[in-house]
Structure formats: C-alpha cells, structure tokens
Amino acid sequence: MERFLAELKRRNVLRVAAFYAATGWLLIQIATQVLPLFDVPTWTLRTVVVAVVFGFPCVLVFAWFYEITPEGLKRENEVDPSQSIARSTGRKLDRWIIAILAAAVVVLLANQFVPHKDLNDIALSKAIAVLPLVNDTDDPKNEYFSDGLSEELISALAQIKALKVIGRTSSFHFKNTNEESKVIGAALGVGYLLEGSVRTSAGRARIAVNLVRAADGVNAWSQIFDRTLPDIFAVQAEIAQSVARALKVALLGDVDKNPDAPSNQNFDAYTAYLQGRFYEKRYTAADLRKAIEFYDAAIRSDPHYALAYSALSKSWWALGDITGPGRGRGQP
C-alpha cells in the first residue's frame, strides 16, 4: 500500500486530484451564481455538475498513465526516469492549487459580504398576472368583452418568452374580489399585476390599464387606450409591448398580431367569437346553446375563422356530454 501511495505521489496523481477538485468546485460555485442571472435553464447547471463529477475519475486515470514532458504528453512507461520532469510539474501544480484555493476564498467572501439581488426577486420581476378587466359600462351584458380582452392580453403577453405569465384560470380566480395586490401577488407567485377597466360606447372602446407592483401596490406604468372598435385587434399588441418595456424584457415573441383575431379582421366575427367563448365557459346546456349560436354567427361573418370552427365543435361536444347522446338540439 505504501508503495502504491508513493507511486501516486511520484506521478502527481494526488496533486492532479486536488487541483481538479478545487477547480471543479470553483466552476460550480461561479455557475450557480451567474447562470440564473441570464435565465439559463436549470438543466444547464445540472449538466455542469454532472460533467465535473464524471470528469474526476477520467482525469485521475489520465494522470496515472500519462506524463507531461518537454516534448509533450507521453505514456508514463515511455519516459526515461532520468529525463522525467514530474517533480517540476508537481511544483507547478502546487502553485496552481494555491491560486485556485485563493480564488475560491475570494468567491466565498464575495458571496457572503457583497450585496446582491435575491434570485427569487429576479424571477418575480419577470412574472405577471393579468387580472380580469372591469366592465365599466352600465350593461352587464358587455362583460363578455372585458373578459375576452383580458384573455387576449394573457395570450399576447404569453408570446413574450422572457415573461412568466399566469394562466386564465388562476388569474380569473380573483375576479370581483377586493384582495390587496400583495396577497394576490403572493398567491400567484408574481411580481406584477396588470389590471384595469373597459368602457365601450358608440362604436369606441376606452381601455385603462395599470401595471402594479404586487409587493407594495405602486403603479409601475399606466395608460389609457381610446380606440374605435375595429382597431381593437391592435390594442393587445400595444399593451403587451408597453408592459414589456416597463418590465425591461426583450420582445422575443411575435405580439404584432392577435392570434385569436379572424382572418379578415372582421370585428363582428370577433365580437361573436368572444360572446360565444363567454357563454361556453359557463358550461350549462342553455349557455352552450347560446355559445353555439354566437360561433355560428362568427363563422357567417368570416367563413375562414378557424378558431370559431374549433370552438363550435368543442361546444357541440360539451353539449352532447351534458345532455346525453342525440339530445344536443333538444331540451335536456
């Protein structure tokens, strides 16, 4: 055993092991601190750790069988003992080990004493929930429009890959509630809330939106969009772009076009589609029949409206599921 240990020392295997362990640990520490700042996927960090761990035995085997010479790498049994520079290589490795350990101490001290932004705060700063827009008209029948616009905003923001956007089901859970922004933000795990109101009158729509910081309720950005109803398709993109600028994230997705808009940009078709979707979500036989009527109207306005066809098929299926086979057009 003593002879084996002596051979490990002579071939600098122990020094190589110490150097690799110190370097690998330092690399993992740097990756842990730096990669999350650039929104690098978590699997990347796991890959670094696995590579370092699996590389360790490979390096030890390599150090056992090979030696550095003035002519380059050679098999250890091919090197004349009188010409070996293993001792000189060992001293160089000692200096490198000391340098790496010093760097590791600097990293530890920096991580301990240098102020840095919490990674959870970084994640929250790019997470947003769109709360249901308030129907500001006197007619409750217009609620389909404010709900539909809220869903379109969720879709538009979801196209921005740098943002984490909470889905409709979770966001609409807070419809018609008076919870504080801090409570809603904590429940949904977001740093920002997009809220506002919609008022339609005489062929025009006024949409007031506020981007609120969930932690303290402070307005980060607000704007009023006053548009004619046929221009409503562009509003979602405008709001999404404004929110992205306010949060200082890159517009990596295509938010120039509303994915739910009809192919011919027909506002009547779009309105009928929103009304159909409003009733479909109630999921009663009577409401599903209303949804089917509105989807039929949307298709009449735009025979190429693919989403309306899809929603119509889904509503017929749901109606059949509720009322039983062959009873979709009759009363339950």
DSSP-assigned letters across all residues of 103-163: HHHHHHHHHHHS----HHHHHHTTEEEEPPPEE-SS-GGGHHHHHHHHHHHHHHHHT-TTS
Contact indicator for 323, 330 with CB cutoff of 8 Å: yes
- 17-26, 29-38, 117-126, 265-274: which has the highest mean pLDDT? 17-26
The 10s digit of each residue's pLDDT in 48-57 is 999 999 999 9
- What is the pLDDT at residue 332? 41
The 10s digit of each residue's pLDDT in 139-150 is 777 788 888 888
The 10s digit of each residue's pLDDT in 253-287 is 444 455 555 655 676 787 788 888 888 888 899 98
Helix axis angle, 143-158 relative to 267-280, nearest 10°? Answer: 100
Q: For residue 258, give the 3-state DSSP assignment.
A: coil
- What's the CA gap between 258 and 289, in Å, rounded? 27
- What is the pLDDT at residue 137? 81
- What is the pLDDT at residue 251? 39
Contact indicator for 66, 73 with CB cutoff of 8 Å: yes
Name the residue among 210, 214, 132, 213 with its Cα closest to residue 176: 132
Contact indicator for 277, 301 with CB cutoff of 8 Å: no
State the number of CA atoms in the 13 A half-sphere of 144 facing the CB. 18
Name the residue among 200, 221, 45, 52 with its Cα closest to residue 128: 221
Q: For residue 204, give the 3-state DSSP assignment.
A: strand
- What's the CA gap between 315 and 219, in Å, rounded? 40
β pairing state of 192-201 and 134-135 = parallel
- What is the pLDDT at residue 31? 84
Q: Token pair of 209, please?
A: 């939106």
Contact indicator for 246, 125 with CB cutoff of 8 Å: no
Provide CB contacts within 8 A for 184, sequence distance 6+.
129, 131, 174, 193, 214
- What is the pLDDT at residue 230? 67
pTM tops 0.75, yes or no: no
Contact indicator for 190, 124 with CB cutoff of 8 Å: yes
Q: Is the pLDDT of residue 330 over 50?
A: no
**118-261: CATH class:** alpha beta
Q: Is the pLDDT of residue 252 over 90?
A: no
Beta strands in the chain (DSSP E): 66-69, 72-75, 127-130, 134-135, 164-165, 192-201, 204-213, 219-228
The 10s digit of each residue's pLDDT in 292-321 is 999 999 899 888 888 889 889 999 999 888
Supply the mean pLDDT for the chain: 81
- 107 burial class (0-12, 13-18, 19+ CB within 10 angstroms)? middle
Residue that wins the pLDDT comparison between 65 and 157: 65
Alpha helices in 159-219 (DSSP H): 168-172, 181-188
**CA gyration radius, the chain:** 32
